[in-house]
Amino acid sequence: MQPKILHIRSVNDYARYISAPELHPLVSVIHYDELTAMRHSLNSYEVYAMFLNDGELPELTYGTVQYNMPQHTLMCVAPGQIGGKADAGEIIQAKGWALLFDPKLLHDTFLGKQMSRYRFFSYNTSEPLMMTEEERQILVDCFEHLRAELKASDQKGLIASWLSLILEYCLRFYSRQFKMQSTGEKGLLNRLETVLDTYYDRGLQAEQGLPSVSYCASQLCLSAGYFGDLIHEATGGTATAFIHRYIIRRANELLRSGITASPRSGAATVSSVAYDLGFQTPSHFSRVYKKVTGLPPSAYK
């Protein structure tokens, strides 16, 4: 039997389900600690939602993946996503906060134009924001101020400003988390180098072509969005740029040695190196090489 799904078409669909106050047609700020006991729900979202958990929420579902939500973590979802836990009659007392806002609120606002920056709405459930106590308190203060604003007025500009402030704080807190995860002997860049080494050592480029961002992310058990943001924090550039620099280093080794990795290729030419690395055409290899080094591969050879 398919589990029953709560369709959250508006922010107050969720508020009504858990008997929370309805403060605004487009924004809902909920403090779970103030509510009576509630039941789980498996939610299909048509709104943005942010859940700050102060308890322990085990065995939740995101798509087909099971996950736990540890204490003092923030999980964000975007319209079109499904998450939560199907109602099996269990009575729970959740702790923490929820913020839901309708995409309609973003129309013709500065925040609407900035939403593409907040990529954490697309992160996997294994990539929540693990907050310090200070960070958690900052978000709680913002939630409380936004809730007070919703009770006091209906000024779209002020509401959007509070939402923007909350999202900017989340960017900053994720940046701190990225720094912690990207450093150390077993940091992200070292592990990514290992993934790329293994890709070429196994000869996967012969059938799959160049190693992709999505492939590297999956090998590191990360979503492509989270992986890309980690790489940007660590290097200041994109994941694609890092992969290309790695490939060009391998290209230089082949050009310098004069022999391609495949014995059948014989002496290394620009074309043979291109195909050996997984490029579909030598011209594509030359464009990437020049973009990375400023010179054509023939000049290095």
| Residue (of 275, 276, 279, 193) closest to 239 by Cα position | 193
pTM comes to 0.80
Q: Are 100 and 28 in contact (CB under 8 A)?
A: yes
pLDDT of residue 244: 96
Q: Residue 35 gets which letter from DSSP?
A: S
Q: Which residues contact 122 (CB under 8 A, 6 or more apart)?
A: 78, 223, 225
Q: Which amino acid is at 37?
A: A
**DSSP letter (8 states) at residue 71:** T
For residue 263, what pLDDT is reported?
A: 46
pLDDT tens over the chain, length 301 residues: 566 899 999 999 999 999 999 999 999 999 999 998 888 888 899 999 999 998 765 555 555 455 566 778 999 999 999 888 888 888 888 899 999 999 999 988 889 899 999 999 989 877 899 999 999 999 999 999 999 999 887 788 889 999 999 999 999 999 999 888 776 545 788 889 999 999 999 999 999 999 999 999 999 989 999 999 999 988 899 999 999 999 999 999 888 876 555 544 455 688 999 999 999 999 999 999 999 999 888 887 6
Please say whether the beta carbons of 146 and 162 come within 8 A: yes
SS3 label, residue 73: strand
Task: Classify 14 as helix, strand or coil.
Answer: helix
- pLDDT at position 37, please? 81
* Cα 49 from chain centroid (whole Å): 15
Identify the helix (H) or strand (E) that includes residue 64. Answer: none
At 264 the pLDDT is 46
According to the model, what pLDDT value does residue 185 have?
Answer: 47
pLDDT at 83: 83
Q: Enumerate domains of the chain plus CATH numbers.
A: 5-181 (2.60.120.280), 188-300 (1.10.10.60)
